[in-house]
Amino acid sequence: MRRVEKPWGHELVWAETDRYVAKVLHINAGHKLSRQFHRVKDETLYVESGEMDLEIGKGDEVSTLRMKSGDVYRVKPGTIHRMSAATDVRVFEVSTPELDDVVRLEDNYGRQGTSEP
């Protein structure tokens, strides 16, 4: 297991194989992850505790879902998404292994760029 510090909190990568990755995201209240999408990576999010807003969409079709403990959402490749913590929130993320497949569209912490899988 490895801990990765992030400007919005931290993540614990607790399983990583050539077929899947499992993480626990700890997002501090009031913080947001990047507005982003993945070209290949397919992920499913499970809110274990707390509340967050999940911005999702494609193109101009963007909506926001308030997610609470027990809620699940699958983020398919190409879907623009962003998590914003309403409270401290703990999210389990299970995905395909392409961790570098991130296209950032907006970021509150000045991180830029595109990574390739």
Domains of the chain: 2-106 (2.60.120.10)
* pLDDT score for 113: 67
Residues in the chain: 117
* pLDDT score for 88: 98
pLDDT in tens, 61-115: 889 999 999 999 999 999 999 999 999 999 999 999 999 999 999 899 988 766 6
Question: pTM for the complete prediction?
Answer: 0.91
* pLDDT score for 111: 86
Q: Are 90 and 25 in contact (CB under 8 A)?
A: yes
